[in-house]
Chains A and B, each alone.
Chain A
């Protein structure tokens, strides 16, 4: 169904990989090769996985998305062997995880879950340091690393390191969960609905901050969600799973939105997939027209998504809006037609042969 070459080519992942933070050991590639998990009929087919094959290049975020019971979480847990596959192999940098010592394997893989699972009896600082402590780092190195990570996820170490998890908000707990998963500088992170338990506003902020962090860290990440919008936002690659744990489609978000491989995928990503594609692009990507009279026209900073720009243009009922350049100077005029044709251009270029 899908080829197993690097489907990203010269994509975001490669760009991210070039700007690593010092002290980061980088990322590993991840491959699913014919992976299946069958459960006895007594437990039903929920969570089963059927002949899953795909490759995530080092430094990319791959999102597993699909309806409940499609085997997303099962697939994720087979990577760190919380669940053992019935057949097939999972390879990290070409090495079959089934051949490794399971404890050592898990300590090299970051793990973030929806309910966070912070240890209530340990302070925030000691929660973050659990894996370094398990692998025998010195106390001083643990403390230094903890402070670094807490700052990285936006928590002041002086204020937070000695608190207990019960004293944190939901969003703060998730940040600590992410810091804990990053503690021993894993080559690979597994994130199982990591932002699903917080309210939408906090979720959006956590997503944005995590993407910013990932631009520096360039970890390979396998990310599970049931939320298509989150998949599109977070993923360099998306694996859409159908019921029964089949891979329905695998590719970059724009390709899945532009060319759903089946009715199932089209229905799953939604009628508004055209609008969702617009949210993947910003006005900075647009070809603009010369500005004539700009009196009363809305202005768009470069990071405005085409979806937001379109929405604003429709609401304002104007012929166009002014796209601003990096220094806030007007760069040109954007119209509803230009936004619509931006998708058409891309669709032509990305069409399958």
Chain B
């Protein structure tokens, strides 16, 4: 994994007495205190980040937390008051006008919250815009733009006017326009916030699909924690211009840095983030397919369970046998394999939300299979226990 974007000690202040404000900030005063004492608004305070090539990096925070200010520094629509930003090893503030244009034309593109589309141009002409600015020839320009329009699923709409499109379609145009330049980095400033919930879900799915094909580095801004956890390989959470925590969704979920993060992710759909491997338990009762009936029955009774998983010598799952069946059939069949039933299997990387419907109807715990081997089981009880172990829930129970 190589670093592609880097933010180093960046501050962004608006107002007159910036030095004074910075002094207060370094002493740990809050944004409000600094504003009150010096009249300086702190948009960003001591931000440090490293974004790796090919990852989807989500920056999340409430409005006014500085996330949009920060993302605009990556293509220098905003300049930091202090600190440095790097693209690979190039410090961005060192670029002269010509180099900056080249950087924006070739390396980085942006998708805007309210789409930023030009109403006097058709869909095709909008998507062509970046290529037109670069001076790409007419044939190549149209071909490339059409390819992108097809990629985002707008084929047939290329000659439509922008105001004839729905919100979701408009943002598809925005995405196609940004991708047409084949940038290394895609900046997305709350691209789906203006869309209604169903369309938003579609677009998130679409983005994941496109990202799988294109493998861009994406810097994604949002205030929706579920969106952040769904799309992000890593998530940075911001508050009052500072970055509080940078982590994978799962680590952030299990190790929130502070109270604020805890409260922020409280609203998150835990089941969408956490995967089966976090809730699975070691199977209590495993029997081998060549075991005798009596041993199997004894095993279940000893462990006080009503079913056992049957595996072969390589731990390959054969099925499940229930105590009831074992007792009923032990004199009628010759081998254990004659009484096993199929069992629903899942993979350790599936999200909990995916397996919830299965878990709720399954008679026996779900078997977790990795490389054909039984690695664990997930029972209704284990899922419930896990969901209930939410620190916030615990807190509210205690108080």
Please indicate whether A and B come from the same complex rather than being unrelated chains.
no
Binding site for A on B (CB under 8 A): none
